[in-house]
A and B are shown apart, each in its own frame.
Chain A
Amino acid sequence: MKKNVLMSIAVLSATAVICVALIAVVNHFWHITDEERFARAVKDIMQTNSFEIQYDNEVAEYNADIGGNDNYGIRTVRLAKGGRDDGCYLFQSRGRGYNGGFVELLIGYTADGELIGFIKTSLSDANTYQHLIKDSDWDAASDSVKGKTYKDEFESGRAGGNALQAATGASVTLGGASEAIKISNEFFKKYISDDVVEPPKGEIEVNATKIAQLNILFSVENSGYQGVTIKQGGYVKYPITSDRESGARVEAVYTAEAVDGEKYFIAEVWATTSGYGNWRLLVLLDDNNLIAAVNRTGNPPYEVYEEDDEHYDASNLDSTLNMTALYKGKALSAIAGIDEYDEYLQGTTHPTESIDGLKLCITHVLKNAMSLREKLAEFIGEEA
């Protein structure tokens, strides 16, 4: 009995050792290096395998600006050397997918910034939706950006297209792909192209609609901010803070000056709640207080209630949010004020869930108020 047990253990152990040794030997000969994998991936969009990594410092700076991390940002920018694609650029970028995952793409650009296409190199395993996308769907997504330039995609921010997203059921994943392309386009525009990115200082670089929206904010009756005009400041194009987990980010910051010379800044905040659309708020901060007004863009949450007469009163919600100064005079620390307004709004419109988006915007601004202030201080300091 004992002999049998020992024999079994010995044979098992010997078999395991031989198997592992065999695999190790084979792995030595057939191991695929990272360079080989990279070359395999690249060959679908570029003909050359010779690249030189460039813009290291700029990549670090850009990633810091956008709040990049392991799941979000540009990994490398390579310049193609020799062959048909000499002078083209290859970006390795990551966009955020679902549930803390990421989508990594290799994106090819001509020297002039025309998109050659993209391929996915890896997907994190954080969510199963990412794997709903078949290779042919990725090809279709890649085809959809061919011939466009970094400028086009910067405006549209869409890699695939709604039809593709609906077909695959993986909108978040393609959203991640879109994000990877979008930041690559931004980087190209900022560091590689000859385009001037920063608007001239001392002038607000906003269009008439935006000025009108900002003026609504200042003209609200009894808001205490009448007479504030947008006189100086800048327009920050890139997200200053980003908080994907809560579904909110500050997308732009404006400065403003009152007739008495007091300076303010206004943050344009975007937030989304699952299933209830997007909110885009303009939030004004002065020394210790804030007011806010709604800027109706994107996908207003009240569309959810459009077909539900019992719970929807568009005119009520619309006028309420646009013409009322929210949180007038509230201290930044008085977050509890949100609940007060929450009750009031629900009493009139009942869109309980959609209010979550509004709250998210406000709390996000409150959370990031200090860093926003610092940014603005830098801005105003530079101008001075």
Chain B
Amino acid sequence: MDKMDKKMLKRTALGGILDNPVFVLVLGMCPLIAVSTSFMDALLMGVSTAIVLLLSNVAISALRKITPSAVRLPIYLMVVATLVTILQMFLDKYIPDFYASAGRFIALIAVNCIILARAEAFAGKNDVLSSLVDAASMGLGFIVAIAILGGVRQLLGDVLGISIFTAPAGGFIALGLLMALFNAALFFAKGYAARREARKTRREARRSAKTVKEEAL
């Protein structure tokens, strides 16, 4: 793996933060709002989505060389739908209480924008390892985002009794506030990283100038 590949992989691994599917790309809103009324349900929904994302990215990436471009979307959908069906069977068998409450949204994972977006934008064009890293990063980003949202809504709605936060309207309000917070933090982090990079560049420039000067003397 050369330096360029490593840099690319690092960027992909940070995709869950820099291109967070919830707070930055604003994808998969339907299950996000519907299921994030409690921390536990949100966490299980996040993990379910991440598992499908991981497996579908790997499968689609592995099949990319034999997938004709004209029929790639039906194939992606078939793969994702199969994985979701298997996930549904698993949840119904082993976590029936969660499946009973979130079952209809589990089925909707099959058409979740996050899954299809990663399949189309990344897995269909990159190797299996990169796709795996991408899915892990994005999946983790989704889990953290939906779990935080679920936790905040449960805290405000159930514990503090502000009932609007248990309703979809409150879900959007909480999501908006978290999104603002996350993007502000990301903005400052990027600024800090840019300043650090600039300092480093200046330091290197000064160092090379000094070297040139010493050589000239």
What is the interface of chain A, defined by CB distance below 8 A to chain B? 4, 7-8, 11-12, 15-16, 19, 22-23, 26-27, 30-32, 40, 135
Contacts and interface: CB of A to CB of B under 8 A. Distances in A.
A50 to B, nearest CB: 21
A16 B68 contact: no
A40 B94 CA distance: 12
Nearest to B92: A32
Given A15-B79, A40-B96, A135-B101, A26 B86 contact: yes
Interface in B53-97: 63, 66-68, 70-71, 74-75, 78-79, 81-82, 85-86, 89-90, 92-93, 96
A7 B68 contact: yes
Contact of A30 (B70, B71, B79, B89): B89
A30 B85 CA distance: 12
B97 to A, nearest CB: 10
A26 B82 CA distance: 11
A22 B67 contact: no
Contacts of A16: 78
A11 B70 CA distance: 11
Interface residues of B, number: 21
B78 A30 contact: no
B67 A30 contact: no
A59 B79 CA distance: 48
Interface of B is mostly: helix
A15 B75 contact: yes
Given A16-B78, A40-B96, A4 B68 contact: yes
A349 to B, nearest CB: 45
Given A22-B86, A26-B86, A4 B78 contact: no
5 contacts: A4-B70, A11-B71, A16-B78, A23-B82, A135-B100
Contacts of A135: 100-101
A11 B60 CA distance: 13
A16 B82 CA distance: 9
Contacts of B78: 12, 15-16, 19
B70 A23 contact: no
Nearest to A134: B101
Contacts of A23: 82, 85-86
Contacts of A27: 89
Contacts of A12: 71, 74-75, 78
Contact of A11 (B75, B89, B96, B100): B75
A194 B69 CA distance: 75
A19 B75 CA distance: 10
B88 to A, nearest CB: 10
Interface in B82-134: 82, 85-86, 89-90, 92-93, 96, 100-101
Contacts of A7: 68
Contacts of A22: 82, 86
Nearest to A20: B82
